Amino acid sequence: MNSIEYAKKSAENKKLDITYLNTSYLEVDLKSDKFDLVVLIYTDLGVLIPTERESLLEMIFRILKKGGTFIFDVLKDREIEKKTSHKTWEVSNIGFWKESPYLALSESFLYQKEKVILFQHNIVDTEENIETYRFWTHFFSLQKRQEGLVPIAGK
């Protein structure tokens, strides 16, 4: 949220007419032909399942103005097996996962055929409560983009 507030203040100071949204891009209902630019960062396209990815790309194509730009990033599938993580554990008094003491047990699982890695983190607090976070990351190749599976949106 701090990033959105900073961006809004910066645009206001520069007298730029920019709309920032902090919402789920899978659930938002936006008007057609409204945006000059859509940016999807931190390889977000790669964490979606194929039907969500297709739905999102269709929505982006619909909301972009003629000549609009869609900027996104994905991870390459080259040497995907080297992108997995070893099993690790970490004890912290305060850190990324919680603002109180915790144990983090992390590992990854490679699904070679699907070009997907699951990064899983089990976070255990001092009361022995366990929270599990799973991050599915899809990897892409130039061949798939050329086949139309990862279209570049624009009009």
Q: Report d(CA 133, CA 147) in Å as an integer.
A: 32
Q: In the CATH hierarchy, which top-level class contains the domain 80-139?
A: mainly beta
CATH superfamily of 2-76+142-146: Vaccinia Virus protein VP39 (3.40.50.150)
Extents of the domains making up the chain: 2-76+142-146, 80-139
Q: Which two tokens stand for residue 115?
A: 């070009």
User: What sign for the dihedral angle of Cα 51, 55, 134, 37?
Assistant: positive
Average pLDDT (71-88) is 93
% of the chain beyond a pLDDT of 70: 92
What tokens were used for 25? Answer: 């891009």
**pLDDT above 70 (res 153):** no
pLDDT for 42 equals: 83
Residue 34: left if φ>0, alpha if ψ -120 to 50, beta else—which one? alpha
In percent, how much of the chain has pLDDT > 90?
70
φ, ψ dihedrals at 3, nearest 5°: -65, -40
Count of alpha carbons within 13 angstroms of residue 72, beta-carbon side: 20
Separation CA 95–CA 22 (nearest Å)? 24
Q: Mean pLDDT, the chain, as a whole number?
A: 89
- Asked whether residue 77 carries a pLDDT value surpassing 70, the answer given is yes
pTM for this prediction: 0.69
Quote the tokens at residue 29. Answer: 């209902």
Inter-residue contact 119 to 106 (CB < 8 Å): yes
* Local confidence band at 20 (pLDDT 50, 70, 90 cut-offs): confident
